[in-house]
C-alpha cells in the first residue's frame, strides 16, 4: 500500500512538473521535446521509444489527434499497412506538417528531424498494426473443413517427415512430430491458425534446422514434443509482442512498418534458441517443461530491456 501511495505521488509530481521542465528545455535549447529525442539519439529503439513516450505523454491537442488517428488506423481497423500505403504516407505527411505548425518548427531547416520522426511513426504504428494482424490469425480457429487449412497441415508433415507417407488424415503418426493425439486440429485451440502458420514458416524456411530439432525432441531422456513445443513458442512470441518487449528488436531492425513475416522470423529465432536452452538445462524429463519455459521467457525478456538488442538468427539456412 505504501509503495503504491509513493508511486501515485511521484506520478502526480511528474504530471505537473513535466510541462515546466519541457518549457525550460525548449527555452534553453530552442528545440521541442520530439526534436531533442530525435537529434540526441541514432535511429533505433532508443530514439523510437523516446518519441513514443513523448507523443503518448503529450498534452498538445494536435499530437493527441494524430495519436488517436494513427491508433485507430493501426490498432482498431488494421489499415496501417503496405496494402494501404498511399493513405498512410499521406497521413504521416499531414501529421508532420501539423507538428511543425504546432511546435513552430521550420521544416526547411529541420529536415533531418522530420525524416527521423517519419521513420518513428512508421515503426510505432507499424508495431500496433502487427499486433492487429497477429491477433487476427490467433483468433482464427483451425477448421478441418477448410481445404487451405488442411493443405497447410499436410505440408507441415511432408516438410518434417520427407519420404514418409501419412497413412491417413487422422493417425497416430502425428504424435511422431509432437502432436498430442491422432488429430492435430485440437492442439491449435489456444493459438489458432497462428500456431500452424508459425510452425509451417519455420519448417519451410529452416528445413534442416527444423528436422534437427525434431530429432532432439525425440531424445530418450531430454526429449519434448516438437509440435506442442512449437505452439508454446508461438505463445511466447505472442506474449512478447503484446507486452511490447519485441519493440526493441523491431525498432532496431526495421526502419519502416513490419509485417507478419517479421513476426515469423522472431518465432524462428525463439524456437532455435529454446532448443539450445532446453538441451543446456538437461531436464530430467518433460515434466520440467513449464519451469524451463518460464526461465527462457525471463531470459529473453531481460535481454530485450537492453535497447541495443537485436535477435539475430544464426542457423545454417538464411532467410
Residue-level pLDDT, tens digit, the chain, 319 residues: 555 655 565 454 555 556 665 665 566 777 999 999 999 999 999 999 999 999 999 999 999 999 999 999 999 999 998 788 899 999 999 999 999 999 999 999 999 999 999 999 999 999 999 999 999 999 999 999 999 999 999 999 999 999 999 999 999 999 999 999 999 999 999 999 999 999 999 999 999 999 999 998 888 777 899 999 999 999 999 999 999 999 999 999 999 999 999 999 999 999 999 999 998 988 888 888 999 999 999 999 999 999 999 999 876 554 4
For residue 139, report the phi and psi dihedrals to the nearest 5 degrees.
Answer: -85, 0
The predicted pLDDT at position 101 comes to: 96
The predicted pLDDT at position 235 comes to: 98
State the cell numbers at 274. Answer: 529454446
- Whole-number Å distance between alpha carbons of 82 and 79: 8
Contact partners, residue 199, CB within 8 Å, separation at least 6: 156, 227, 230, 231, 234
- Whole-number Å distance between alpha carbons of 195 and 230: 7
- Whole-number Å distance between alpha carbons of 7 and 16: 14
- Whole-number Å distance between alpha carbons of 254 and 245: 15
State the cell numbers at 166. Answer: 501419412
State the cell numbers at 318. Answer: 538464411
- Whole-number Å distance between alpha carbons of 67 and 73: 10
Closest CA to 48 of 246, 279, 272, 288: 246
pTM: 0.91
- Whole-number Å distance between alpha carbons of 133 and 264: 12
3-class SS at 257?
coil
3-class SS at 165?
coil
State the cell numbers at 77. Answer: 481497423
CB 231 within 8 A of CB 192: no
Amino acid at each position: 500500500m505504501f509503495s503504491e501511495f509513493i508511486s501515485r505521488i511521484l506520478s502526480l509530481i511528474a504530471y505537473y512538473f513535466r510541462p515546466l521542465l519541457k518549457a525550460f528545455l525548449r527555452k534553453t535549447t530552442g528545440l521541442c521535446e520530439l526534436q531533442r529525442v530525435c537529434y540526441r539519439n541514432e535511429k533505433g529503439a532508443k530514439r523510437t521509444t523516446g518519441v513514443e513516450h513523448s507523443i503518448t505523454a503529450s498534452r498538445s491537442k494536435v499530437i493527441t489527434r494524430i495519436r488517436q488517428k494513427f491508433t485507430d488506423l493501426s490498432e482498431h481497423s488494421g489499415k496501417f499497412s503496405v496494402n494501404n500505403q498511399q493513405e498512410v504516407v499521406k497521413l504521416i505527411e499531414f501529421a508532420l506538417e501539423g507538428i511543425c505548425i504546432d511546435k513552430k518548427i521550420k521544416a526547411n531547416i529541420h529536415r533531418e528531424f522530420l525524416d527521423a520522426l517519419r521513420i518513428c511513426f512508421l515503426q510505432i504504428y507499424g508495431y500496433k498494426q502487427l499486433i492487429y494482424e497477429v491477433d487476427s490469425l490467433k483468433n482464427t480457429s483451425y477448421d478441418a473443413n477448410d481445404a487451405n487449412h488442411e493443405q497447410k497441415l499436410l505440408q507441415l508433415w511432408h516438410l518434417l517427415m520427407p519420404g514418409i507417407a501419412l497413412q491417413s488424415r487422422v493417425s497416430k503418426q502425428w504424435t511422431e512430430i509432437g502432436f498430442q493425439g491422432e488429430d492435430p486440429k485440437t492442439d491449435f485451440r489456444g493459438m489458432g491458425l497462428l500456431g500452424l502458420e508459425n510452425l509451417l514458416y519455420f519448417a519451410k524456411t529452416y528445413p534442416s534446422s527444423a528436422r534437427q530439432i525434431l530429432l532432439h525432441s525425440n531424445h530418450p531422456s531430454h526429449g519434448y514434443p516438437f509440435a506442442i513445443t512449437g505452439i508454446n513458442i508461438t505463445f511466447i512470441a505472442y506474449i512478447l509482442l503484446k507486452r511490447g518487449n519485441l519493440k526493441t528488436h523491431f525498432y532496431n531492425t526495421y526502419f519502416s512498418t513490419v509485417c507478419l513475416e517479421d513476426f515469423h522470423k522472431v518465432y524462428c529465432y525463439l524456437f532455435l534458441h529454446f532448443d539450445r536452452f532446453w538441451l543446456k538445462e538437461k531436464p530430467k524429463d518433460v515434466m520440467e517443461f513449464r519451469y524451463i519455459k518460464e526461465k527462457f521467457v525471463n531470459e529473453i525478456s531481460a535481454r530485450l530491456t537492453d535497447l541495443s538488442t537485436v535477435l539475430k538468427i544464426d542457423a545454417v539456412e538464411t532467410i
